[in-house]
């Protein structure tokens, strides 16, 4: 039986998948910083801008979660499924997610973040001699 309201579920799952997307962005930033990419500055600027937007949204979502006394914890994980426990002041509800569906949702959030971030590169001051 479902005890979460639709809005609580949407809030919790957005927080959950956005948090996963932030981890992916932070890993990608580390890879780019350590790599020898020719367009490193542009890639870093884009990824860091996406990370900043995602962190700001997650901060807002976290405050909304606190306001409705909700927490989300990982309950179980195997090769095919991950189970998360949505805990509110009134109930606990387990939700199972198919791992490829999680990856797809995280990818959708990353694509959404790329569209939100201005596509101008880092600002450089050039001096003409």
pLDDT digits (tens, 9 = 90+) for 84-120: 999 998 889 999 999 999 999 999 999 999 998 876 5
Give one word for 15, left, alpha or beta, with left for phi > 0 and alpha for psi -120 to 50. alpha
Angle formed at CA 87 by CA 63 and CA 18, multiple of 5 degrees: 50
Average the pLDDT over each of 28-37, 64-73, 86-95 and give the range with the smallest value: 28-37
Kindly report whether the global pTM for this prediction surpasses the value 0.75. yes
Is the pLDDT at 43 greater than 90? The verdict is no
CA 25, 37, 121, 104 dihedral sign is negative
Per-domain boundaries in the chain: 6-116
Query: Token pair of 32, please?
Result: 């780019």
Work out the mean pLDDT of the chain and round it to a whole number.
89
Query: Token pair of 108, please?
Result: 């959708």
Give the count of beta carbons closer than 10 Å to the beta carbon of residue 7: 10
């Amino acid at each position: 039986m479902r005890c979460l309201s639709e809005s609580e579920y949407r809030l919790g799952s957005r927080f959950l998948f956005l948090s996963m997307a932030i981890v992916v962005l932070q890993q990608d930033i580390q890879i780019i910083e350590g790599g020898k990419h020719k367009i490193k500055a542009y890639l870093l600027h884009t990824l860091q801008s996406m990370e900043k937007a995602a962190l700001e949204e997650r901060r807002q979502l976290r405050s909304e979660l606190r306001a409705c006394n909700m927490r989300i914890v990982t309950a179980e994980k195997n090769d095919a499924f991950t189970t998360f426990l949505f805990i509110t002041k009134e109930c606990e509800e387990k939700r199972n997610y198919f791992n490829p569906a999680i990856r797809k949702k995280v990818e959708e959030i990353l694509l959404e973040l790329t569209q939100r971030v201005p596509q101008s590169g880092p600002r450089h001051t050039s001096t003409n001699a």
